[in-house]
Amino acid sequence: MAATAEEIIHALSLEPHVEGGYYRRTYQADAQPRVLTPGGERHAMTSIHYLLTAAAPVGHFHRNRSDIVHYFHMGDPVRYHLIHRDGRLEQVDLGHGLAAGQRLQLTVPGGVWKASELLAGEHGYGLISEAVTPGFDFADMALAERDTLAAAHPAHAALIRRLTRG
């Protein structure tokens, strides 16, 4: 029998994430030298579990200073919407449906606006992990301001309005 979203949240000790969904840091490179970034010293790498659920199906638009590799684990597919620095919109579905064009892994360069959303399926959740380098720090993440991001990318305004917090 497949696990429920609530069972995964409990089993992995996940907590609500400011961007939406649930997360838990699973690793930080404590044994490696710290990396000097424009925001200060950071771990060389960090990693988290990240879960979207039917009750919390959106990771709202945000950007990170660091590069992030996303790995799909289980559940329903998760769609990523990426607004690149040149304004180009890219959509990537992570999931097990490789024949349908879904991918198991996605790398998002630092500085790219991204949002994620759970696609409809039989499980009611999508579980991924992320590896972040240099390591994640909340000071390096910015949640999108709906009107500002929509004004900067008017071609994507409807999507931005749907996937940002009001």
CATH number at residue 18: 2.60.120.10
pLDDT in tens, 78-117: 999 999 999 999 999 999 999 999 999 999 999 999 999 9
The set of residues, in sequence order, having a beta carbon less than 8 Å from that of 61 and lying 6+ positions away, is: 81, 83, 113, 114, 115, 143, 144, 149, 160, 163, 164
Domain holding 32, by residue range, is 5-162
Q: What are phi and psi of 26, to 5 degrees?
A: -110, -15
Give me the number of domains the chain comprises. Answer: 1
pLDDT in tens, 104-154: 999 999 999 999 999 999 999 999 999 999 999 999 999 999 999 999 999
pTM for this entry = 0.95
CA distance linking residue 139 with residue 146, whole number of Å: 19
